[in-house]
Structure 1
Amino acid sequence: MKPALQFRLHQQLTLTPQLQLAIRLLQLSQLELETELRQIAEGNPLLEFADESEDNDASAEEAAPEAEYAQTPGPAEAVTDHGIDADDSAEWTDDGGGNVETPIDFSSSSASGNARGDEDFEPQNAAPETLQQHLLWQLNLAGFNPRQTAIATVMIDALNADGYLADGIEAVRTALPDNLDASLAEIEAVRRRLQGFDPLGVASLDLRDCLRSQLQQFDASTPQRELALAIVENELELLARNDVAKLARKLRADEEEVAAAATLIRSLDPRPGAALDATPVEYVAPDVYAVREGSRWQVRLNADAQPRLGLNQHYCNLIARARGDDANWMKGQLQEARWLLKSLESRAETLLKVAGAIVRRQSAFLDYGPEAMHPLVLREVAEEVGMHESTISRVTTRKYLHTPRGTFELKYFFSSGVSTEDGGSASATAIQAMLRKLIDAENPRKPLSDQALAAELKSKGIQVARRTVAKYREGLRIPSSSERQRKS
């Protein structure tokens, strides 16, 4: 019996290679994009970066004309549901918020408004001194005998970034050379001496040991030193809760004396090694600038952050003279290069459109600060710029907007809303800013509880539950009212 024929009708979305490339580039951060383009350019001789062409021009100035950067004909390739917005123009103006997007020019750095006269001079900063180097330098001057120096060297190497000997002295003994049979008491004696090095408290086993060693370096006549040592030794938990009254009862001391001892403890450094952390500071370069001109906010692409990628005109001229397989291969590379440049142009245009929509919606934040932030979700921006929500999510991830109030990730401007008494809504970001302002202005002797904070917000027309206030407060890493209380 022959099987019956069956017909099935179904829809399937197929992304072209060009579209896949545009979507992949759209979701990359600035550094990731640079790395990706470097890898692509290494395999395509038709592509080159501006710095490479400038080097070639310096050696053979009259040999070939300069490469044309990002001068690709035609509009950016359109994506309606999955990536790049259909728009034949690189320039547009907002009638309501005053956001103007400028044409994209990957070869010019003038769009950012920053002079680059010193671009050829990179800072040559000396490598920062590490904690281990700082301690080894002191070790050479400490007068240790060879045996003690060997133990101290192993111990210094075992310190973590905070300056703690987290694995304990037993691990130090295990790491010592086989011919150095040191006892735990001998290792402990060396550790005690290391705790007096700068910064004070290094080579401690835990927080209590760290604070104790620092207090012991104070002169014996220091007010409340002994009381502070007693607190560190036995009552750190009560100190963390800032329960001065209970501390005073347990230690049989006056509350003012306990408060003074607590102040002395808080002046100590719980992470002595962190000040010499050699981890380099990472700086964020904004992708877009929000600039106020008169009464209007304008959005501009940071050209310094855009890849200066273009076609190598020398190889383009060779295509006309190539024959056979070489000609076909070079034509294919040229087509891929043009797709890439169009995708980069589309990426920049999309970034400008989305950033412009965000700035229009959050212009009150730019004018008045976080308390004026409006509720905003991806769908609202997607509808305004005619893109899919997934595209907005890609654009706003790891892309940064520089404003007069600081540099923020584009995702920062999205937040849920809370209803107000007048029928409007306030964003979660604005409520958090209000909470921080209320807490900063509170009486440290009588800090506001979560219920009191909720009542203060209600008086401003914002209805939030106590548990919501607690959630926002914890999100801001602000301790509870009992932990914030100070006895002066």
Structure 2
Amino acid sequence: MKPTLQFKLSQHLALTPQLQQSIRLLQLSTVELGQEIERIVQENPLLELDDGPGQSLAEYASDAQDGLPESLGPGGADTAAAEMPDAANGLDVDARFSEESGWSVEDGRSHEARDEDDERDFSQQAAESLSLREHLNMQLSLSQISERDRRIAGLLIDSLDEDGYLVQDLGELVALLPSELEIDIDALHIALGYLQHLDPPGVGARNLSECLALQLRALPGDTPFLDRALLLVEHHLDSLASRDFAAIKRLLCCDDECLRSIQQLVVRLNPRPGMAFSSSVARYVIPDVVVTKVRGTWVASLNPEAMPRLRINHLYADILKRSQDDSTRQLVNRLHEAKWFIKNIQQRFDTILKVSSAIVERQRQFFEHGAVAMRPLVLREIAEVLDLHESTISRVTTQKFMRTPRGIFELKYFFGSHVATEAGGACSATAIRALIKQMISTENARKPLSDSQISEILGQQGIVVARRTVAKYRESIQIPPVNLRKSF
């Protein structure tokens, strides 16, 4: 058979670049969305961030197209396909912008004028905090020790981890050093002694027991129960961790009151002395949705602080209106990309608000009474109500947060499996975890509740939960087992 050419007409669904961008933006967190916006703004000169009100993009888009030739306008098969609903994730990318959304147009200022307005004063900047290594080396430079011992101590400082522990064995460290340095194990022990006398107390320890003992030795000699506390952390720390108070009282020859004072003294110590010099920066959650009670009804609304304000650069837009030749084709493409990007971001927030409102509607009892009133909820239930795909609900509820009077929660928090009750109903796993936490918070510290006892109490309330299920829920909320909760 010789090769031939044939025309074939068929229909199929295709994900256009605009729809792919819409899906990608939907699954980004607030922080990741900000980074994506910064990247797009740097690449597209037609798109800018706006801090003030301006003309609606929907109005501007219709005005701008009137001045463009048809050959350069957003026509053709690509645009027709782009305006089709997304069958994969249920998003309608042809949604119109609301006038209150805040997506506005550039007010006419050029890039140079805006850069002049945005000049900042960097004369006052916060000083960088010292690292643990710099803090210890500064103390070494002021100490009255020999230069050789100072360098060996500096070598040990470089071997500390972020918690201030010397995790490498001294014998192994000697084997790694060049023989021409003539550093033996005794020299390392001497340098380690210098290091362990530096601030913060406990730095340079090789294990937790030594770290706590160094901090106790740094306390005044007249501290009550200091000798017994040293004996406890040096020889019986495992018994304290397992809360074997009977064995501790027998080994230390003390009563309940004495042991309680010793325990309080040990608990005040810092098991990670180097963490005070950590350079890690706290990352704060920016909620996407805020839930408030309006006239007796819980209402979800978008957080204005999480919504970026984007606009089209009016300077370049005017150029496109005046010029109608092929030389402006590049800017026309950038204009179309900018408008689609703004539309996709607006659609992202609209979808988040719809899903959040549906969640609030079904979890009203949670906002009234707390986690114990959480009802079972699955993604499919919200998807059916909003006529969206479950994958869309999954993207919306991942790394998106809701601020409520009871705290900030990820949208995933409001979904959970259910446990059958004796009455034939269902109880949310979140509500069961809240009940377990509530029971443990009010238990007798001398006789804490076991997992079997908690299972029996839940059974008396009509909630059938096995002991292993109770243990799984207890571990998920980071509550230790019964032997570690026991006190005296």
Opposite residue 182 of structure 2, the aligned amino acid is D
Shift of 1:68: 5.4
Match of 1:84 among 86, 91, 100: 91
After TM superposition, give the deviation of residue 467 of structure 1 in Å: 0.9
For residue 159 of structure 1, what is the amino acid of its counterpart?
L
SS state at 2:301 partner: strand
- AA in 2 matched with 1:418: V
Which SS does the other structure have where 1:84 is aligned?
coil
1:14 partner SS: coil
Counterpart for residue 21 of structure 1: 21
Does the CA contact (< 8 Å) of 1:290 and 1:297 recur in 2? yes
CA contact (8 A) 2:225 2:262 kept: yes
Query: Structure 2: how far apart are the matches of 1:456 and 1:463?
Result: 10
Determine if contact 1:194/1:202 at 8 Å carries over to the other structure: yes
CA distance change for structure 1 residues 330 and 135 in 2, over 3 Å: closer, same or farther? same
Larger CA deviation: 167-176 vs 366-375: 167-176
Distance 1:11 1:455 in 2: 60
Counterpart residue number, 1:253: 253
Matched residue count: 449
Partner of 2:37: 37
Gapped regions of structure 1 (runs ≥ 5):
55-64, 92-101, 109-119
Are 2:58 and 2:97, in contact at CA under 8 Å, matched by a contact in 1? no
Match of residue 128 from structure 1:
129
Deviation at 1:89, TM superposition (A): 6.9
- For 1:168 and 1:189, the matched residues in 2 are separated by 15
> Following the alignment from structure 1 to structure 2, what is the Cα–Cα distance between the partners of residues 154 and 26?
50
Give 2:242's aligned residue.
241
CA distance in 1, matches of 2:193, 2:130: 23
Deviates more, 1:308-317 or 1:455-464: 455-464
Q: What is the distance in 2 between the residues matched to 1:44 and 1:86?
A: 21
Letter in 2 for 1:478: I
- In 1: Cα distance, 2:380 partner to 2:121 partner: 45
Distance 1:413 1:103, change over 3 A: farther
Deviates more, 1:365-374 or 1:23-32: 365-374
TM-score if structure 2 supplies the norm length?
Answer: 0.82
For the pair 1:394 / 2:391, whether they are aligned, the reply is no
1:369-380 equivalence runs, <5 A: 369-380=370-381
Look up the equivalent residue of 1:33 and give its one-letter code: L
Contact residue 244 and residue 255 of structure 1 kept, 8 A: no
What amino acid is aligned across from residue 84 of structure 1 in structure 2?
A: L
- Output the CA distance in 2 between the equivalents of 1:327 and 1:9: 34
Q: Residue 456 of structure 1 aligns with which residue? A: 457
After superposition, what is the alpha-carbon deviation per residue over 1:445-488, rounded to whole angstroms, capped at 9, x for unaligned? 1111111111222233322111111111111121111111112x
**Residue of structure 1 equivalent to 2:275:** 274
Structure 1 position 393, deviation (Å)? 0.7
Q: Secondary structure of the equivalent of 1:45?
A: coil
* Counterpart in the other structure of 1:410: 411
Distance 1:170 1:305, change over 3 A: farther
Given the superposition, is the C-alpha separation of residues 244 and 410 from structure 1 closer, same or farther in structure 2, using an over 3 Å criterion?
same
Deviation at 1:155, TM superposition (A): 2.2
Shift of 1:379: 0.8
AA at the equivalent of 1:130: S
The aligned residue for residue 105 of structure 1 is 102
Q: Which structure carries more helix by proportion?
A: 2
Whole-angstrom CA distance in 2 between matches of 1:161 and 1:325 = 60
- Aligned residues of 1:376 and 1:413 also touching (Cα < 8 A): yes
| Cα deviations by residue, 1:152-172 (Å, 9 ceiling, x for unpaired) | 223223221211112233565
Specify the alignment match of 1:199 in structure 2: 200
Q: In structure 2, how many angstroms separate the alpha carbons of the residues matched to 1:194 and 1:470?
A: 44
1:41 Cα deviation (Å)? 2.6
Identity of aligned residues (%): 42
TM-fit CA distance, 1:427:
1.5
* Matching residue's letter, 2:275: A
Q: CA deviation at 1:268?
A: 2.2
Check the 8 A contact 2:383/2:393 in 1, yes or no. yes
Secondary structure at the counterpart of residue 320 of structure 1: helix
Deviates further, 276-285 or 230-239: 230-239
**Deviation of 1:266 (Å):** 2.7
In structure 2, the CA distance between the partners of 1:258 and 1:170, relative to structure 1 (3 Å rule), is same
Mapped to 2, the partners of 1:177 and 1:271 lie a distance apart of 31
Query: Matched residues in 2 for 1:210 and 1:192: separation?
Result: 13
Look up the equivalent residue of 1:42 and give its one-letter code. Answer: Q
Q: What CA distance in whole angstroms lies between the structure 2 residues aligned with 1:431 and 1:418?
A: 9
Residue aligning to 1:57: none
SS of alignment partner, residue 101 of structure 2: coil
- Structure 1: how far apart are the matches of 2:223 and 2:265? 10
Displacement, 1:300? 1.4
Mapped to 2, the partners of 1:429 and 1:210 lie a distance apart of: 39
Structure 2 counterparts to residues 71-470 of structure 1, below 5 A: 78-85=85-92, 103-106=100-103, 124-170=125-171, 173=174, 180-219=181-220, 222-249=223-250, 251=251, 253-254=253-254, 256=256, 257-258=258-259, 260-470=261-471
Contact 1:154–1:172 at 8 Å: present in 2 too? no
Q: Give the partner amino acid of 1:82.
A: N
Provide closer, same or farther for how the CA distance between residues 362 and 89 of structure 1 changes in structure 2, counting only shifts above 3 A.
Answer: farther
1:76–1:342 CA contact under 8 A, matched in 2: no
Which amino acid letter does the alignment assign opposite residue 14 of structure 1? A
Rounded Cα–Cα distance in structure 1 between residues aligned with 2:304 and 2:143 = 54
Partners of 1:439 and 1:447 within 8 A in 2: yes
CA contact (8 A) 1:70 1:309 kept: no
2:79 aligns with: none
